[in-house]
Amino acid sequence: MSKKNESKNLNQFLTRYDDKKHNEALAKEKYPTGWQPHAEYDPKTNKGTLVSRGTKEQEPEFATLLSEWGFDPNEYEIVGNLQVRTWDMNMGDGNVQQAWYYKADIRKKVPDFDTDFAKLLKEIKSYKVKTQPIQKGNTAFMYYVADWQMGKRDGKGSEEIVSKVLESLESANARLKELKKAGHTIDEVYVLGLGDIVENCDLAGWYSSQIWNVDLHLRDQITVARRLLWKIVKNFADQNYKVVLSGVTSNHGQNRSGKQSLATEELDNLDLQILEQVGDLVYESKYKNIKVIVPESPHLLLDVKGYLMGFTHGHLTAGGGTPAKKIENWWKGQMFGLNEAGDNPVGLARMIVHGHYHHFTAVTQGGRTIMGVPAMSPSTDFQTRTGYSTSTGVVTMTVTKDGWDNLKIL
């Protein structure tokens, strides 16, 4: 079969009969430049335009105009004011009627994140906290939340990610009991977000395939991640530990306007947005043993029991080499940039913990440590491209003034 015939066979299955009929009718009509009825939408820019077919309605419903071209009014909206024109339309057999035409800019609706949040907030305000003495000790337990990428379709998708997070939480509770039985006096639990908590839904061409590789839209990604993070924090707080929740920015959390540019700034980030939302829940709750730290920098420095620890996602590094080498070069820059004004405080850290690369790595040199933690979501794309698979899990460990110890991947 020739390519010409193949193309013809394909096109017959692509033709939309309503469009064909309509296009034939349009050919008999003459429209002013820019007013021929049509609709177009670019998902990369989230911008589109529609021009309605002729109608007798002088005050049409926006939903009707959108539905006419196949745009669900629940998902799309008209932006700004309608442009209106009217002229006589030949209906045939000498019948001429006045018709109205409407032009509008359209976009996909920005999700309303407040509905679920308000419901959750109401539940939290009515929740009764069991008041018991707070644990006493000199040791912190670290629980790292890294690269969940909630909404990612890889493997068994979001359902598998949620199951793994819940399993890791049960394992963390068991691990705490083991450590206490071994004589470690743990009084604090740090829940540290190392970025990419959600997959995001790219409409700006950042990752061209991402919009087709998610099983949850952005609103649901944020809802699930927020509720899971709250469950984790509440779990440790209910065991009477002092809980510190904090995190950093990430590439999947960025608000992008294109492949190479941020629409706003690095701190306008979904990871920090979710962190702040859980922080709002904490401060509206009756918990007195939970502290939330929202950084004013893409990176984070914390004094954990007298041991200075730095945290970053890993996407802002540059240069070649292994992930550990990239982090090392970035860290050297942070150290070199220290000044009396307190800029780049992460340069003071004795240890850097990062995500982003989906592998566990640990390098110690001269009393300083660089540790990369694994992701919670699998990466079939990485395995397809390289042949290597990545092990998922949650890194936990203890920290005292003398440093870190008792590392275990759950």
Does some domain include residue 1? no
Residues 195-223 as b/e (b if ≥16 CB within 10 A, e otherwise) read bbbbbbbbbbbbeeebbebbbbebbbbbb
Does some domain include residue 4? no
What is the count of structural domains for the chain? 2
Examine the pLDDT at 37 and tell me if it is beyond 80: yes
| Separation of alpha carbons 225 and 165, rounded Å | 10
| Separation of alpha carbons 193 and 313, rounded Å | 9
Examine the pLDDT at 145 and tell me if it is beyond 60: yes
For 146-201, write each residue's pLDDT tens digit: 988 888 877 787 888 888 899 999 999 999 999 999 999 999 999 999 988 888 86
For 290-324, write each residue's pLDDT tens digit: 999 998 888 889 999 999 999 988 877 877 777 77
Residue for token pair 């802002």: 316
φ, ψ of residue 242 in degrees (nearest 5): -75, 125
81 and 46 in one domain? yes
Helix (H/G/I), strand (E/B), else coil: 80: strand
Helix (H/G/I), strand (E/B), else coil: 306: coil
Supply angle C-alpha 384, 161, 193, rounded to 5: 100
For 346-397, write each residue's pLDDT tens digit: 878 899 898 888 888 888 888 888 898 998 876 666 566 556 667 888 999 9
388 and 280 in one domain? yes
Q: Where among 66, 84, 108 does a domain terminate?
A: 108
For 208-239, write each residue's pLDDT tens digit: 444 457 777 778 888 888 889 999 999 999 99
Name the band, by pLDDT with cuts 50, 70 and 90, for residue 28. very low
34 and 136 in one domain? no
155 and 302 in one domain? yes
Please give the DSSP secondary-structure letter assigned to residue 275.
H
207 and 63 in one domain? no
256 and 295 in one domain? yes
* Whole-number Cα distances in Å, 115 to 188, 231, 270: 33, 19, 17
For 71-86, write each residue's pLDDT tens digit: 888 778 887 667 888 7
CATH number of the domain residue 184 falls in: 3.60.21.10
Beta-carbon-side half-sphere exposure of residue 387 (alpha carbons within 13 Å): 0
Name the range with the highest mean pLDDT among 23-37, 123-137, 183-197.
183-197
* Tokens (6 digits) for 298: 């893409």
Does some domain include residue 44? yes
104 and 135 in one domain? no
E strand spans, 313-382? 351-354, 361-365, 368-372
160 and 270 in one domain? yes
Enclosing domain of residue 186 = 114-409
238 and 95 in one domain? no
Please give the DSSP secondary-structure letter assigned to residue 85.
E
318 and 361 in one domain? yes
CB-CB contact of 145 with 247 (8 Å): yes
335 and 301 in one domain? yes
pTM above 0.85, yes or no: no
Average per-residue pLDDT for the chain: 78
362 and 279 in one domain? yes
Q: Which residues, in sequence order, are CB contacts of 402 under 8 Å at separation 6+?
A: 307
What integer is the mean pLDDT of 90-94? 63
